[in-house]
Structure 1
């Protein structure tokens, strides 16, 4: 199952400090500020049988276009089913791999969005907008986590 069939333009990599104007959800004002990147990962039940409707895809496309123009959506994509995947594991110094599907897993990663936001709260609000587009028939969740960035001295900073 793919989450999005619409391409999203990748933004520039000036993540240390953005100087473009970003729109804050729920606010009519613009801001210039340092921002952080967040990964919003969608978890789905791959065996639910639900497929995105044409209306859902259109609504997601509009939301993604709006968020991309606002500079808060840097990248997004849906993932192919786990039957196309492979798990690679390192345990005890030995590598192993298991081909999908992963039947023991109830929820799987369905896609992701790379967000740029001023705060964790803003990243959560952006993710909530994405979830609301799905309506009542979907039973999905997203995990939002901040990316560790490398500063000018190449050390990881949160």
Structure 2
């Protein structure tokens, strides 16, 4: 099963603070483990929402908003795309992950829809 692993934003990531060299090295080692296990399909960090835009849809209408966006806790600072056996395996890998932020942080795991989900 494929899952999107979302690293939630914090006030530090939204301020554009870069991870320490130690954290970058630890995350690099973790990513190497994911590659060696055949799990990692993609992964990147995202720039703060101040560098982004949102497009709101309402019928045929489109409204573009410039960042930054509020509710930092609901924003995403980075992601991985993993191929795992099940959610339990994804949780086990996330528990091994270095804390992606200097302080408290959250990682969310969401299964992707697969072709079989639409078969019915």
TM-score bin (small chain): 0.7 to 0.9
1:60-101 deviation per Cα after TM superposition (whole angstroms, max 9, x unaligned): 101101111210111100001111100001024311110111
Q: Which runs of 5+ in 1 are unaligned?
A: 1-35
When the two chains are superposed, the root-mean-square deviation of aligned CA atoms in Å is 2.1
Q: Is the 8 A contact 1:44 1:139 kept in 2?
A: no
> Which whole-Å CA distance do the structure 2 matches of 1:116 and 1:65 have between them?
15
SS in 1 for 2:72: coil
Deviating 4+ runs (over 6 angstroms): none
Q: Which entry has the higher C-alpha Rg, 1 or 2? A: 1
Which structure would you say has the larger RCO, counting Cα contacts within 8 Å and 6 or more residues apart? 2
- CA drift at 1:139: 1.2
Q: Is the 8 A contact 1:39 1:115 kept in 2?
A: yes
Q: Is the 8 A contact 2:44 2:80 kept in 1?
A: yes
Q: Which runs of 5+ in 2 are unaligned?
A: none
Q: Hey, what does 2:49 align to over in structure 1?
A: 82
Q: Hey, what does 2:118 align to over in structure 1?
A: 156
Q: Which has the higher helix share?
A: 2
